[in-house]
Amino acid sequence: MKTSTIAAISTAMTNSGIAIIRISGEEAIPIVHSVFVNKKNQKCLDSYRSHTIHYGYIVDEKGVSVDEVMVSVMKAPHSYTMEDIVEINCHGGVYIVQKIMEIVIHAGARAAEPGEFTKRAFLNGRIDLSRAEAVMDIISSKNEFALQSSMQMLKGSLFHLIKNIREEILYEIAFIESALDDPEHISLENYPEKLHEKSSSLCEKLKKLLDSAHDGKLLKEGIQTVIVGKPNVGKSSFLNLLIGDEKAIVTDIAGTTRDILEETISLGGITLNITDTAGIRNTDDIVEKIGVERAKKVLEEADLVIYMIDASTPIDENDFDIIHMIADKKAIILLNKSDLDVCVTEEEIGTYFSDNRKIIRTSMTQEEGMDCFTKTVKDMFLEGKISYNDEVYITNIRHKEAIKDAYESMLQVKKSIENSMPEDFYSIDLMSAYASLGTIIGEEVGEDLVNEIFSKFCMGK
């Protein structure tokens, strides 16, 4: 069946230096051939070799030149979509880009849907679904970790890992099936023990992947960080130092940071999504109370709590409330105002927690302790954990769900063996693990899911 030839503006729709219109499909070359002339005013695109780029003009249906362009030709199957692709590099004005797009549509192309080029790359078998999704992840990467883990996925790290696990499962399914078909020649004696061992090792692999999802999400989307502490201890000053401008209002009056401020900052390759809460303390002020309730909620959802104390004044019951609230949270404690006479020490704070807490002396006015803070965050979330090259991190919720299903099916296989169930019980759960993992690479997915995944892509990708 002949597929339609699609076209899209692949660059951002704002005035810019250049823009690219991409055309893919069997008619890509004839369509652009009909609207492109070289400097001798000849139409000759159809005679060009693959992977070459050419100077000329785009002309409208009356033959009037509308822009000076460079046109590149990538012939099937050596292109992004595995179809013939022509890309027009034109000037990047919104009007001219749209004009060329209209000319291309008029010449026979249809406007592509979001992600349709990548969808074709997937449907034509150049990349599996995990690699197609990696393309989108690269585009939306906000930090180095997100970029590197997506790049690994685009290179096929997840695909190969999943493919290998599936092959191991398929081997067992085939073995059971053939033994059941031909019991005279293939014996299942001692097989359950072997399968149990194999299932345990597969469960371990799947569990490791599942565990990586937590770190992967944190590092890709950022660590939900919350700053807590009584009013006036220096939270806004700290936030301002981190952000580098005067966004939070710094005042001497307790309780003036009423609402919640949110900021995303990059700290040595890690993204912190920081929330500064209203000073947590018991209060009768209604407006402030709303802030305090929200603060408690934010605290519950936080991956990291930064608890700031004014070390120049003794701690009181409001601090104990906070200490109680963060007892089981990952926290860094800042003993601020260390430039003044201090009465709160690390030893004292240490006694209020049952485990070892990171405690750092800081002074916001002297800008002291910030390097130590950065290092502590890095140690807590990165040290020894991230190696971009050989580790596969699960950062996509769809992949995580599929791995979780497969893991549960494999646990079920083990359980059936432990309960001496008949062999065909093993096959059912092995098949189900095989199918769940298949959805990650796109082997067991329906059209609806494929459409849904690609509909989230950008236009022109």
Per rule CB under 6 A, is residue 232 in the interface with ligand GDP? yes
d(CA 19, CA 9): 8
117 touches 83 (CB < 8 A)? no
Per rule CB under 6 A, is residue 339 in the interface with ligand GDP? yes
Q: How far is the CB of 381 from ligand GDP (least distance, A)?
A: 24
Q: How far is the CB of 454 from ligand GDP (least distance, A)?
A: 46
Per rule CB under 6 A, is residue 342 in the interface with ligand GDP? no
200: CB partners within 8 A, 6+ apart: 414
DSSP string, 376-429: HHHHHHTTTT--TTT------HHHHHHHHHHHHHHHHHHHHHHTT--HHHHHHH
Per rule CB under 6 A, is residue 140 in the interface with ligand GDP? no
Per rule CB under 6 A, is residue 115 in the interface with ligand GDP? no
Per rule CB under 6 A, is residue 438 in the interface with ligand GDP? no
Q: Which is nearer to ligand GDP, 92 or 229 (CB)?
A: 229
Chain residue whose CB lies nearest ligand GDP: 234
Q: How far is the CB of 315 from ligand GDP (least distance, A)?
A: 14
H-only helix segments in 244-386:
286-301, 317-325, 346-351, 370-381
Task: Please provide residue 108's backbone torsions phi and psi, each rounded to the nearest 5 degrees.
Answer: 130, -5
Per rule CB under 6 A, is residue 199 in the interface with ligand GDP? no
Q: How far is the CB of 377 from ligand GDP (least distance, A)?
A: 19
Among 279, 438, 442, 460, binds ligand GDP (CB under 6 A): 279
Q: How far is the CB of 253 from ligand GDP (least distance, A)?
A: 8
Per rule CB under 6 A, is residue 235 in the interface with ligand GDP? yes
Please, which of residues 241-260 interact with ligand GDP by CB under 6 A? 250-252, 257
Q: How far is the CB of 397 from ligand GDP (least distance, A)?
A: 35
Please choose, out of 58-66, 333-341, 392-400, 441-449, the segment that lies near ligand GDP by the rule CB under 6 A: 333-341
Burial of 23 (0-12, 13-18, 19+ CB in 10 A): buried
Q: Which is nearer to ligand GDP, 149 or 236 (CB)?
A: 236
Amino acid at 310: D
Among 11, 79, 150, 236, binds ligand GDP (CB under 6 A): 236
Per rule CB under 6 A, is residue 340 in the interface with ligand GDP? yes
d(CA 9, CA 48): 23
273 touches 224 (CB < 8 A)? yes
| Distances from the Cα of 181 to the Cα of 45, 85, 175, 296, angstroms | 60, 50, 10, 62
End-to-end CA distance of the chain: 23
Per rule CB under 6 A, is residue 332 in the interface with ligand GDP? no
Q: How far is the CB of 251 from ligand GDP (least distance, A)?
A: 5
Q: How far is the CB of 250 from ligand GDP (least distance, A)?
A: 4
Q: Which is nearer to ligand GDP, 215 or 288 (CB)?
A: 288
Q: How far is the CB of 240 from ligand GDP (least distance, A)?
A: 7
DSSP string, 11-43: S-SS-EEEEEEEEESTTHHHHHHTTEE-TTS--
Q: Which is nearer to ligand GDP, 262 or 379 (CB)?
A: 262
d(CA 75, CA 282): 70
d(CA 152, CA 68): 38
d(CA 255, CA 221): 31
Per rule CB under 6 A, is residue 233 in the interface with ligand GDP? yes
# binding residues, ligand GDP (CB under 6 A): 20
Q: 88 forms bridges with which residues in the sheet?
A: 21, 71
Residues that bind ligand GDP (CB under 6 A): 229, 231-237, 250-252, 257, 279, 336-337, 339-340, 363-365
